[in-house]
Structure 1
């Protein structure tokens, strides 16, 4: 059976889709990158916001009237299976990939090797979240924190190395909560850095999960100098309403300490704008916070109601035009800060992992998550190369 998998949402979802594809291919199914050639379309859903939930449904609607088998799984059915059961044309609804594997079964076709996702590979080390931020449905979709055993992670990392991965991205839902006995996340990161000769990148971290062991990771030669640290707001009043357990000043101190160890590190973040009750003064406070921290990039999201969360029922819902204006202001500030950060490296020699090529131009990523383009007649795919940065754009 020819299968196509569409993945929405976070890196954890991507990892789960990759593992599902690998397993189905080992059972005789064939993965295709074009849905038109597929017998079965599988959609891995995201439900983190109302907007993401709606987009997940839009992805599989075009296939419902055709002759393809349609399978839906992931966070959407975990939170609201009944919504999907009302939609005609969906053949199978699953919470977990294992249910799909059992449903599709083994074919009589000889299994083919499947080696996509080589250059930069996701390695999921953890699942679940217990923070229960007032805007977030994820704890209900993913459940309590669950850590992959230390030995299993080392085994999987070794396997990825054998397959040719040059960079591993440690991912999960709340990876800073990973633990195995006395070992914490930073112990795991340090062990992977010491044991394997590939680049290690960390996907996303909560600011309250840093500790004194961070410095050893930041200074390691194989660590990718980029941290995505979730701020969500730069205003203490908004942070309290969000259920975030830190203050803006604490966040600033954390980043200052990080830069003392790794001066050129790229610090990126998420900011939700237009959160219920957010005033213009609070928005301006967030703008000052962003400017003070000098993020390398800010991902801004207009607050989107997610039914089933406390924030969805909160008073003071901000009108969409105001949210849009505030988001535009944050994007403008982010672009200015991004330009300033990139210009620091003009004339510098930087290590780039090249991932793809189009019309003779290769695109790759530096350790500090800067995209680099290089024209070359030589095949640079999945290769590490030192290049001199000439222009920032």
Structure 2
């Protein structure tokens, strides 16, 4: 049976690194859009395509995608979706992980254990902070995927004459970080709880069928944000992106994935600089939306809005005749007709634009955005 190839997100790569640092620790990955069975070998690649590790699937559990926090605006219930595959098994390195921020300080199998260490849960305080009094043990800082924050944390630890140890963090919370620090760094971990400021950047993804109203709502949303929010707002409309950023791509599943991956990369870049990206591609597959959420949440907050206008309404609105051509077989792989649209199970907001006016839809999005900003 051939190996299963998996490209890791930044967060997943840190999870792999953490598992490789403790050879007896099994690795668990939640994978979207991957067909895997017990006994399969998964070859794990980083974003550059380097095969960094392999994991043998000792157990495979199908779990439903997260749906917490979903709000319904309009009518209708979303149908159930296939879940994620949660794969667990032993992991082994295939080659070095390559450049990693704070490389010489990162925890690994060769890290010498110490009797005691301090784990800083959030922002590392400056060297003059009173909380440093009496702390002479090595200081464990969490790498959460922000190179600038990690560099600042290491500098603040070393400025005070203490040794920094970098612990890759996959977003499982301070408790999991403390457990990993005990397993890899020290017998006794002193947990120093410090605040973690919420990054200001945001990305809002409006997903739905062609003709659902995404473009109308997104353009109005950008106008409203430009007058009500001090952050810079950028619009990444699906049709406009395809003219330049994704010129030459078709509509196969792979090309659609690449198109939305590019949009997600730009959105995360905007968010990393404290701006707001409003994205309005069709984004029909759960895997691509999940990947965009993972990428953006490395640097800011992500809001997924499902514009759930029924296909019959979208078809009636179609002035270009695309639906008619798709039903006649003239357009292959047309979402909603000859290619599936996977209804989001983890939407933060669902709006049926056949019963909700654009202004009201924008009001609902802004209210939900205010909730996640609170």
- Could you tell me the TM-score, scaled by structure 1's length? 0.26
Give the structure with the larger helix fraction: 1
Query: Higher Cα Rg: structure 1 or 2?
Result: 2
Whose RCO is larger (CA < 8 A, sep 6+)? Answer: 2
In the superposition, the TM-score normalised over structure 2's length comes to 0.27
